[in-house]
Amino acid sequence: MARVKWQVASRRRRKRLLKKAKGYWGARGSHIRRAKETVMRAMAYSTRDRKVKKREFRSLWIIRLNAAARERGLTYSRLIAAFRRAKITLDRKQLSELAINDPQAFEQVVAAALDNVSPTAAPATAKTAKSSRTAVSSAA
């Protein structure tokens, strides 16, 4: 039986590693050990940042929706609550795109959500709650 030689596999593995490290500065792109360390760290960052990217985009959509809601005299939380009560199932990404690219359609969606909300279902504001507390304490 022939003796197993690993040179081909080793060379292929190292070339694959150096290909991933192409463009890195100095020894990080040409020396096997430094390249391996750098590529492993880069892979870890890329895995982490795929999750962070999703988080940041959701945050951006919420910021855009809040701005669009405030233009219409609402807050973000009241807008989303109105959508939930009206059973409008558009997600934040779709709503954000509507608010930016088609304001008239967004206005119609908001109007449809607010039409389904009864005035008694709206939560009391902090100002109303404070004035009612003052009235109770002064009556006592």
Tens digit of pLDDT for each residue in 61-96? 999 999 999 998 899 999 999 999 888 888 899 999
CATH class of 65-118: mainly alpha
Is pLDDT at 6 greater than 70 in this prediction? yes
**Distance, first Cα to last Cα, the chain:** 101
How many CA atoms lie less than 13 Å away from 34 in the CB half-sphere?
9
Contacts of 11 (CB under 8 A, 6+ apart): none
Q: In terms of pTM, does the model score above 0.75?
A: no
